[in-house]
Amino acid sequence: MKKLLALAALTGTLMLSQTPDMSGVWRADLTKSKRQGPPVVTYLVLIEQKDAVFNNRTKEQAVQFTDTTGTWGQRGEQRTMLAFFLNGKPKVGSYSGIPTELTGSVDGNKVTVKAEQAGGGSSFTRTYELSADGKTLTMNEDGTNEGRPMHSTIVMDKQDQAAAEPLMKPEEVASVHYKNVKTDALKGLPASQFINTMHYFSWSLGKECTFCHVERKFDSDDKKEKQTARKMIDMVAAINEHNFESKPEVKCFTCHEGNGHPLSHQLFADEIQAAKERAAREAADREAHRPPPPAGAPPPSQH
């Protein structure tokens, strides 16, 4: 037993030691970086690398790489988190609230992660490259979101661990951060997780934010769909509480499967054809009405 533990400890160290050490706090040099989205004043990244269980069934371990990014600007604080394993094997995680298959790998001083959203709506490849002196980290991201290309480069300088403080502070909860959040299930969520939940709703129902929201007035309750969604949030919480010991077994996708109105049966051949034609029409329509991105619109993955 002792031998086994020693071996486990040893392989653990070996796994980590084969990985470039990017752990710590990094601050973007915004003059050298090229990013999409509204301008920010501060861009901080906390990177952690540790051995963790990759496969719950086999107990296989691997190095887990976690990126917690915080930006501060006109829109206040925005946080995003991306976690993946560096063993070259795909694993389904979550990014921006949407189930995403993540495959991480190491090549010399470079860590690469490939991400593909369930349903194939968007995908990206991100690399983190450490300079020889270990003081500069360059993050490059290339991807497509609903067919549109996105690119960003972030050049970051190493900071003292104390610089992580703003990222360690608990975020404001949704009921404080936003004007009109009423459901028990969402009120207490940290603001970034609340927004991730909104991305999840859109993805689950195969709709844009405006399916439930009046354009640019997210706090308004004028749309019937938003009112229905509130009832659905309460319903899902009750189903899980009464049947699944409050574990989130039933979710929006369980019934909706990418549809505004859940299906009652498998589609018939003529319905499949009609659905394909409708989807193509809607996509073309969206593309025609989409304003050109203002010098770097936020990719939805970074809201």
Instruction: Name the one range near ligand HEC by CB under 6 A: 41-49, 62-70, 112-120, 223-231.
Output: 223-231
Nearest CA to 300 out of 156, 148, 190, 102 is that of 148
CA pair distance 37, 31, nearest whole angstrom = 15
Tell me the closest approach of the beta carbon of residue 281 to ligand HEC, in angstroms.
18
CA pair distance 36, 298, nearest whole angstrom = 5
Q: Look at residue 156 and give its three-state secondary structure.
A: strand
Which residues share a beta bridge with 45?
26, 69
Asked whether position 273 contacts ligand HEC by CB under 6 A, the answer is no
Asked whether position 95 contacts ligand HEC by CB under 6 A, the answer is no
Asked whether position 183 contacts ligand HEC by CB under 6 A, the answer is yes
Amino acid at residue number 7: L
Residue linked to tokens 């405006």:
210
Among 2, 3, 57, 179, binds ligand HEC (CB under 6 A): 179
Asked whether position 186 contacts ligand HEC by CB under 6 A, the answer is yes
Q: Look at residue 76 and give its three-state secondary structure.
A: strand
End-to-end CA distance of the chain: 48
Asked whether position 107 contacts ligand HEC by CB under 6 A, the answer is no
Which residues share a beta bridge with 114?
103, 125
Which residues share a beta bridge with 68?
46, 81
Instruction: Name the one range near ligand HEC by CB under 6 A: 42-50, 62-70, 165-173, 255-263.
Output: 255-263
Asked whether position 155 contacts ligand HEC by CB under 6 A, the answer is no
Asked whether position 226 contacts ligand HEC by CB under 6 A, the answer is yes
Asked whether position 40 contacts ligand HEC by CB under 6 A, the answer is no
Return the number of the residue (75 or 135) whose C-beta is nearest ligand HEC.
75
For residues 67 and 25, is the Cβ–Cβ distance under 8 A?
no
Per-residue interface string for the shown chain with ligand HEC, residues 130-149, x marking contact by CB under 6 A: --------------------
Instruction: Name the one range near ligand HEC by CB under 6 A: 6-14, 154-162, 258-266, 268-276.
Output: 258-266
**Contact positions with ligand HEC (CB under 6 A) in 193-222:** 198-199, 201-202, 205, 207, 209, 211-213, 218-219
CA pair distance 67, 83, nearest whole angstrom = 6
Q: Look at residue 67 and give its three-state secondary structure.
A: strand
Binding site for ligand HEC (CB under 6 A): 178-183, 186, 198-199, 201-202, 205, 207, 209, 211-213, 218-219, 225-226, 228-230, 232-233, 236, 250, 252, 254-256, 260-262
